[in-house]
Amino acid sequence: MDKTINQKAWFLVLPVFLVVAFSAVLPLMTVVNYSMQDTFGNNQFFWNGVGWFKELLDPSTDLGGRFLASLGRNLFFSAMILAIEVPLGIVVALSMPRQGWSVAACLVIMALPLLIPWNVVGTIWQIFGRPDIGLLGYVLNNIGIDYNYVSNDFDAWATVIVMDVWHWTSLVALLCYAGLKSIPDAYYQAAQIDGASRWAVFTAIQLPKMNRVLLIAVLLRFMDSFMIYTEPFVVTGGGPGNSTTFVSIELVKIALGQFDLGKAAALSLVYNLIIIIVCWVFYTVMTNAGADRPINKGVA
């Protein structure tokens, strides 16, 4: 078959090329360019090679120390919220009604926190937790718990984690609910006939059937929590001290606070690289989990 050759199609994709180039590729290349240089203002730049990257990975330097500390905090934060939100989301999804008008009501209520803009979530919790005018802070202090997220590291962490759980557990729950809804009734009936206990139904049917959506939920929540900026910035501003300063907050401090473009560029590239690697790992795991095709025909 002869193929018609028509180079005009290139003109049709050209606009997209330009948009992507100016919105993504060129800014990224600028960052790569900055990461190799140092500036002392006045738009004067000096070549620094891989110096910033060496510093970043060396905890004895100021830059490396700050980066690795904030990275550690960030990983701990992600681990904490995953450890809470995933089991909690599953429990919520399991206890949601399966039919009737209450399904719609539940879904709407569950979706509400997801619709609130990040900085509003931060503001809500910032006020909610204040010991003088916030309901949470006032009540906690009045029942004898010395709670102050501005001065106490533990309280600041607790506030940020509870806030994230409040904001995002419903996403995990909704995903799990969708996974649960897709299980045909026959599975439950068969389990009943097989005499399975409630726990056996969960481990043998519900959990395996939810594993895809759970992987997606874990991926989404990891990415989001690893890039978190707005909410902790609004609530704690990274404090007290540096105790809730996550990588993104540290990055903004370096880039816009100190105007160290070279250091900030190097940090953001490494940050970006970590995210890409994690995505790739998740993608590989997910596609392998989906590769359960029959491999032996004709077993009859």
Q: State the Cα–Cα distance between residues 57 and 205, nearest whole angstrom.
A: 45
Considering only residues 205 through 264, tell me which ones interact with other proteins, judged by CB under 8 A: 205, 208-209
Q: Binding residues for other proteins, how many (CB under 8 A)? A: 25
Give the shortest CB-184-to-other proteins separation in angstroms.
7
Other beta carbons within 10 angstroms of residue 170's beta carbon come to 24
Cβ neighbourhood burial of 284 (10 Å; 0-12, 13-18, 19+): exposed
- Bridge partners (DSSP) listed for residue 47: 37
Instruction: Show the binding pattern over residues 144-183: x = contacts other proteins (CB under 8 A), - = does not.
Output: ----------------------------------------
Interaction of residue 295 with other proteins, rule CB under 8 A: yes
Stretch that binds other proteins, among 50-58, 128-136, 145-153, 184-192 (CB under 8 A): 184-192
Interaction of residue 290 with other proteins, rule CB under 8 A: no
Q: From 180, 218, 210, select the one nearest 86 (Cα to Cα).
A: 218
Stretch that binds other proteins, among 89-97, 116-124, 131-139, 195-203 (CB under 8 A): 195-203
**Residue (132 or 185) nearer to other proteins, CB:** 185
Give the shortest CB-229-to-other proteins separation in angstroms.
38
Interaction of residue 99 with other proteins, rule CB under 8 A: no
Binds other proteins by CB under 8 A, chosen from 23, 197, 272, 284: 197
Q: State the Cα–Cα distance between residues 207 and 94, nearest whole angstrom.
A: 11
CB under 8 Å to 286, separation ≥6 — which residues?
Answer: 212, 215, 216, 219
Q: How far is CA 66 from CA 56, 79, 235, 251, in A?
A: 9, 20, 21, 10
Binds other proteins by CB under 8 A, chosen from 195, 198, 287, 288: 195
Stretch that binds other proteins, among 46-54, 107-115, 142-150, 201-209 (CB under 8 A): 201-209
- Bridge partners (DSSP) listed for residue 186: none
Phi then psi for 294, rounded to 5 degrees? -60, 130
Cβ proximity of 122 and 142 under 8 Å: no
Q: State the Cα–Cα distance between residues 77 and 16, nearest whole angstrom.
A: 38
**Residue (31 or 204) nearer to other proteins, CB:** 204
Phi then psi for 145, rounded to 5 degrees? -95, 120
Interaction of residue 190 with other proteins, rule CB under 8 A: yes
Considering only residues 24 through 53, tell me which ones interact with other proteins, judged by CB under 8 A: none
Binds other proteins by CB under 8 A, chosen from 187, 202, 229, 282: 187
- Which spans of this chain sit near other proteins (rule: CB under 8 A)? 184, 186-187, 189-190, 192-197, 200, 204-205, 208-209, 292-300
